Structure 1
Amino acid sequence: MDRFETLTAFVAVADQRSFAAAARALAISPPAITRAIASLERHLEVRLFHRSTRAVALTDDGAAFLDRARRILIDLREAEQIVMGGRSVPRGQLYLTAPVMFGKLHVLPALSALLASHEGLSARMMLIDRNVRIVEEGIDVAVRIGTPADSALRVVAIGSVQQTIVASPEYLAEHGAPASPSELKDHRCIIGSGVRAGGAWAFGPKGETIIDVAPRLTVNTVDATIAAAEAGLGLANLLSYQTAQAIAAGRLVRVLAHDAPPPMPVSLLFEGGRAAMPAVRLFIEAMKERARQRAWA
């Protein structure tokens, strides 16, 4: 293996925590992975992994080397994509991440159109309801909802979403609708997990009024939160794009709309160098166009 292939093997073993799993992920033989790591350790004159019959773990030297190895591979991949695709034709792999439901509803359609139009482009999309480390994971573009905290990254705002407190018509018929946020203490509430997890619900023109709700039910996905609300188990705090279909179909009703906090921005985050990649530029434009069509308003 050359130096870059050896680094790829090292990162794969670190990610998979297994030589065999890394070999499967890279579609090479386990002995080849073992030889690559041994060669790298000889070259660096350090031990990168603690090995046992049950587990593989990074040594302190290995952990210190991992971030730099990732950075080298990311820079190489970015340079290859720019050269292979010129500055106008998207080629290679585009790696995206987004919240689960937003990704399914709004990122996947935009990505599908790009893939249909550009034969040389492939994509990898990680849908997860938590913020991941963009640089360390080698992600080209991340879709974020809420104020971005990654100050070193470039940010393109593409729209906003609104907090919505919802319940089923059956629940409201039985328990009544809260007239003010303070009345939530008298209601059954559903709490979800993820970035917006927790029982502190914000209200008011600046989000200055915080109501601590006691959950009657806690679930770990947005889909489950919506399903629980539709089943009449209580009030749920969700975002407008998550509830739009259920509200339009009459399965959920929005309450406390006049007390909602300010809208939350929807942004695309990426490293500055990735702006030169044709696939990144086209994806950003595709998401801007979807926002102009008020796809998630």
Structure 2
Amino acid sequence: MDLIAALRAFSRVAESGSFSAVAREMGTTQPAVSRQIAALEDYLGVRLLHRTTRSLALTEDGRDLLAHATRVLEAVEETEAAVGRGRASPGGLVRIGASVSFGRLYIAPRIGTLLDRYPDLRVELSLNDGVVDLVHDGLDMAVRVGEVPDSALVARRIGVVRRICVASREYLDRRGRPTRPADLAEHNCIVMVRRGGADWAFDGPEGPEHVHVTGRFQTDSAEAVRQVVLAGLGIALTPAWLLRDALVAGTVEELLPDWRAPLSPIHAVYPTRRYLAPRTRAVIDFLVEEFRLDPVISAYGQA
């Protein structure tokens, strides 16, 4: 039995609560993972998991082993990084989570450069507009916009989001252009329900201003906001990067340039651990470097 491989399989099953999810992560089958756990139980002479058709739970021995296994696996990765193949280019699989729009526009286009730099690296990009559980979903890291209240995560700031008011030229020609935030109350506004909802905040020439907006469409998807703005449905308060191409082309206009919405940080987050795998650190360092050069999301020079 490969003890290290068995400990890895056990650790991920314990964290995710799913044999099938771990099998997908490891590119194998559910019975193969089950056999690894069974072999580990036989080797140690204890039962590690209570299994039913619908759920599984750690036994007391399983909880004890998980704590030891975590330390062992971290030590193995640390040793590999310090000796032998760890001195070469970082390698292995890094699973990255991000929102759909940000992942599509800002991470996916950079993957080729990342893989060229690290030939032994493999990347799996998981796009989801919900807040995912990194441990349960087997993610090594995620890119998140906004503050990170979860104390179980380490957060490294890698950029900022500046939100702007935008609308299509066709909508503005039809409905007129607002000249101050209060004018938004007379417009059809597109509400992002998870980003402050219908209360939009600005900092303008005369100080902070708040306006309650209304509209006939609301969503929790930035991709949907992008599409309805392009379709001329109304005004949205969106990240500056979301409609960057349409702003450059002139089909969409930025409104109220003298009023700025609060900045939001962009973080690379990963589970709290004593040791961060070199491959994951390499990806985070790469994103820091790339985002620093992009004026739309760079944290440098932003007030």
TM-score range, shorter chain: 0.7 to 0.9
Unmatched tracts of structure 2, length 5 or more: 298-303
SS in structure 1 of the partner of residue 245 of structure 2:
helix
Q: Distance in 2 between matches of 1:16 and 1:190?
A: 39
The correspondence of residues 114-125 of structure 1 with structure 2, limited to 5 A, is 114-125=114-125
The correspondence of residues 140-179 of structure 1 with structure 2, limited to 5 A, is 140-151=140-151, 153-179=153-179
The alpha-carbon distance between structure 1 residues 91 and 191, as it changes in their structure 2 partners (threshold 3 A), is same
Deviation at 1:30, TM superposition (A): 5.1
Deviation at 1:141, TM superposition (A): 3.3
Whichever structure has more helix as a proportion of its residues is 1
Letter paired with 2:214: A
Q: Distance in 2 between matches of 1:65 and 1:26?
A: 22
Name the counterpart of 2:300.
Answer: none
Equivalent residues of 2:16, 2:137 under 8 A apart: no
Name the counterpart of 2:268.
Answer: 268
Name the counterpart of 1:5.
Answer: 6
Write the deviation string for residues 121-159 of structure 1: whole angstroms up to 9, x where unpaired: 111222222333345545333322223334565443333
The correspondence of residues 237-248 of structure 1 with structure 2, limited to 5 A, is 237-248=237-248
Letter paired with 2:55: A
The TM-score normalised by the length of structure 1 is: 0.76
Deviation at 1:65, TM superposition (A): 5.0
SS in structure 2 of the partner of residue 288 of structure 1:
helix
Q: Which of 49, 52, 64 is equivalent to 1:50?
A: 52
Letter paired with 2:217: L
SS in structure 1 of the partner of residue 251 of structure 2:
coil
Equivalent residues of 1:110, 1:286 under 8 A apart: no
Letter paired with 2:195: R
The correspondence of residues 101-250 of structure 1 with structure 2, limited to 5 A, is 101-135=101-135, 137-151=137-151, 153-192=153-192, 195-196=194-195, 198-204=197-203, 209-250=209-250
After superposing the two structures, state which structure 1 stretch, 232-241 or 158-167, moved more.
158-167
RMSD: 3.8
Letter paired with 1:139: L
Deviation at 1:6, TM superposition (A): 6.5
Write the deviation string for residues 242-279 of structure 1: whole angstroms up to 9, x where unpaired: 121111111211112322223222232344645561x3
Unmatched tracts of structure 1, length 5 or more: none
Q: Distance in 2 between matches of 1:100 and 1:126?
A: 8
The TM-score normalised by the length of structure 2 is: 0.75
- Between the two proteins, the alignment pairs up a number of residues equal to 289
